[in-house]
Amino acid sequence: MIEVLRNVRLWFAPVRVRDEGGTPDYRFSLANERTFLAWLRTALALIGGGFAVDQFLPDLRWGWRVGLALALLAAGVLCSLRAVNHWIRCERAMRRGEDLPVSRFPALLSLVVAVVAVAMVVVVLFGWEG
């Protein structure tokens, strides 16, 4: 838990990461940043999808519409938080010469997106009238 809190503090003071270990090859730091930006693009797409479901499918039953929209919005929020946390963890690991951290989050995110996609298939096959 202390490590998580330390990582959150580093989100807002990334210059303090430089205090740990040595400077990694800039290519690796830039690749880490590109990965961070890819996670943010994914988060924005999920958030946009959540708003699209809510705003552009008014004939969809309320429970389906809200459930699907909230699932996409929640996935977007988690993805954006995960992006910055993963960036910090990877940067620290590279500076310390450690293995890069592993995570179950990509699998979890894939499952959430798959469940939402299956739910949308059900909606398309069986109609959306309220």
Residue 2: pLDDT band by 50, 70, 90 thresholds?
Answer: confident
Residue 55: the pLDDT is 93
Indicate whether 72 pLDDT > 60. Answer: yes
In three state form, how does the secondary structure of 92-105 look?
HHHHHCCCCCCCCH
d(CA 114, CA 47) in angstroms, rounded, equals: 16
Yes or no: say if 130 and 62 are a contact pair by the CB < 8 Å rule: yes
- Domain segments of the chain as ranges: 32-126
Taking the C-alpha atoms of residue 94 and residue 91, their distance in angstroms, rounded to an integer, is 5
Other C-beta atoms within 10 Å of 88: how many?
22
pLDDT tens profile 53-70: 999 988 888 988 999 999
Look at 85 and 127; give whichever has higher pLDDT: 85
Report residue 28 as tokens: 């690796």
Question: Exposure string (b/e) for 16-31, b if CB count within 10 Å is 16 or more?
Answer: ebeeeeeebeeeebee
Residue 97 identity:
G
Q: Across residues 3-31, what is the average pLDDT?
A: 87
Question: In angstroms, rounded to a whole number, what is the distance separating the alpha carbons of residues 60 and 53?
Answer: 9
Q: Is pTM, for the whole model, over 0.75? A: yes
